[in-house]
Structure 1
Amino acid sequence: MKNPLLVVLSLLFLGLPVYSQTTTPAAPAKPAVALPPQKAYVAAQKFSPDGKVNPGFAAAHEKFVAQAKEGKARLVFLGDSITAGWARQEAIWNEAFGKYDPVNFGIGGDRTQHVLWRIENGELEVIKPKAVVLMIGTNNSGSDSAEDIAKGVTAIVDTIKAKQPQSRILLLAVFPRGEKPTGKLGAANEKLKQVNQTLAKLDDGKTVHYLDIGGKFPVVDGALSAEAMPDFLHLSASGYQIWADAIGGKLAELMK
């Protein structure tokens, strides 16, 4: 019969290497942040992946609210990065719109729900614009249906009308995008065409004036020209000149 003491000592000895190799367990990974679900026609702020309000969005909104409170602008541009890009085209902007005391309320990456939230939260307070130029929806094309995107734009139009009954709205068709008419971006364009067909019906000839200038951007061999849209989405200086020229006459009419 084995000595019980020897058995115990043997077990302890054999167990030593096991315990000596044990390491402190790694800290558990932070759980993924579940971002609040958003719908194209329900006002919402823009969030970063960490679940917090996007700081760039918040800063721009605060700046726009301050500009609105000055009450000086007679023309407001609302939109996403394509609208925000006017800030890089000061000469064209001033030449085309400077006489109207314009403000540019465009934020990169914005979707319809973000613009809706912005105008519900101060960007159309105090200010009394004669006209509002609206072009929004392309950033929704990858995740929302044509019906929901159109509902989002319609909600924006209705909110502008409610907050600024004296303003005339120049509602622009969502610009075309993508180098080729096929593939994912081709599908996006087809969706945006459906959106634009719905938006055209909002034109009442009085308060809302719909204008589709997409056909003004040059097309080469069936694809958008990189001259006007270098990345087939955002505009170059020549693209902004096309935009300015295309709406100039109608805008002059609305600003009377």
Structure 2
Amino acid sequence: MTDPRGLAPPAKPSGLKRHARLAARVPLAAELVLLGDSLAAGWPAAQLPAGSFNFGLPGDRIQTTRWRLRAVDLRALCPRAAILWVGTNNFGDGDPVAEILAGLDALAGELRGLWRGAGIVLITLPWRAPVAARPAGDRPALNRGIAALARARGAALLDAEAALGGEAQAARHLAADRLHVTAEGYARLGAALARLLAAGSPEG
């Protein structure tokens, strides 16, 4: 297990190198910033609004995303919205649901402080291959907690399972590892995000 309530740099040298490459290409401004792990990092630019900056990093845990927010000065980006999709690696590590939610709450608060006028969108965890020793109810419980956190933080919620479907649709929307998202899956997520943003900016 790890501690999603803390701060930690990428665990692997390859992660630090990829983080450095991301830091070197931070734009002067961005309409939208996407943060998170490989699910966020793999989101195709074509399925995001124009002017988006993808700050996702494969392997990120919540504590890693929090560390990276401090390691790079992103204040000038001033996005209209920050999209947060992180937590599946913490879930896979066996971190307790309550600690994952505490880490996400801290991260959402940090985003509020970093970009005061930006809306926040939280994305739930889609169906994924079962994690050994985790009760089947843990992921739904985590997603209910993310929804409650979105309400408490005045953030919008993108329900990834509603967009991608459950286990029955996994063959089309998830890769063979039953964790990462296919091109068709990202197209569905992109459409869901576009509808969410068009319905009105999340509260800033």
Counterpart in the other structure of 1:212: 159
Counterpart in the other structure of 1:225: 170
Letter in 2 for 1:241: A
Going from structure 1 to structure 2, the CA distance change for 1:132 and 1:186 (only over 3 Å counts) comes to farther
* Length-normalised TM-score, structure 2: 0.86
Equivalent positions of 1:151-230 (< 5 A) are: 151-178=102-129, 184=131, 187=134, 190-204=137-151, 207-219=154-166, 223-230=168-175
Going from structure 1 to structure 2, the CA distance change for 1:167 and 1:254 (only over 3 Å counts) comes to same
Unpaired segments ≥5 residues, structure 1: 1-36, 48-53
Counterpart in the other structure of 2:48: 97
Letter in 2 for 1:121: A
Paired residue secondary structure (1:202): helix
Going from structure 1 to structure 2, the CA distance change for 1:156 and 1:205 (only over 3 Å counts) comes to closer
Query: Is the contact made by 2:150 and 2:157 (CA closer than 8 Å) also made in structure 1?
Result: yes
Deviation track 1:94-139 (CA, whole Å, cap 9, x = no partner) reads 2x4343x001111111111101111122153322111111111110
Equivalent positions of 1:109-124 (< 5 A) are: 109-122=59-72, 124=74
Tell whether 2:35 aligns with 1:78: yes
Letter in 2 for 1:44: A
Going from structure 1 to structure 2, the CA distance change for 1:62 and 1:125 (only over 3 Å counts) comes to farther
Paired residue secondary structure (1:126): helix
Question: Runs of 4+ in structure 1 displaced over 3 angstroms?
Answer: 183-189, 204-207
Unpaired segments ≥5 residues, structure 2: none
Letter in 1 for 2:174: M
- Higher RCO structure, 1 or 2 (CA under 8 Å, sep 6+): 2
How many residue pairs match? The answer is 200
Paired residue secondary structure (1:115): helix
Going from structure 1 to structure 2, the CA distance change for 1:56 and 1:254 (only over 3 Å counts) comes to farther
RMSD of aligned residue pairs (Cα, Å) = 2.5
Separation in 2 of the partners of 1:188 and 1:56?
32
Letter in 2 for 1:60: R
Superposed displacement of residue 202, structure 1:
2.2
Superposed displacement of residue 154, structure 1:
0.9
Equivalent positions of 1:227-246 (< 5 A) are: 227-230=172-175, 231-246=177-192
Separation in 1 of the partners of 2:61 and 2:136?
16
* Length-normalised TM-score, structure 1: 0.70
Superposed displacement of residue 204, structure 1:
4.1
Tell whether 2:25 aligns with 1:67: yes
Separation in 1 of the partners of 2:158 and 2:193?
8
Paired residue secondary structure (1:78): strand
- Of structures 1 and 2, the larger Rg is shown by 1
Going from structure 1 to structure 2, the CA distance change for 1:162 and 1:189 (only over 3 Å counts) comes to farther
Report the identity percentage.
27
Going from structure 1 to structure 2, the CA distance change for 1:175 and 1:127 (only over 3 Å counts) comes to same
Paired residue secondary structure (1:106): coil
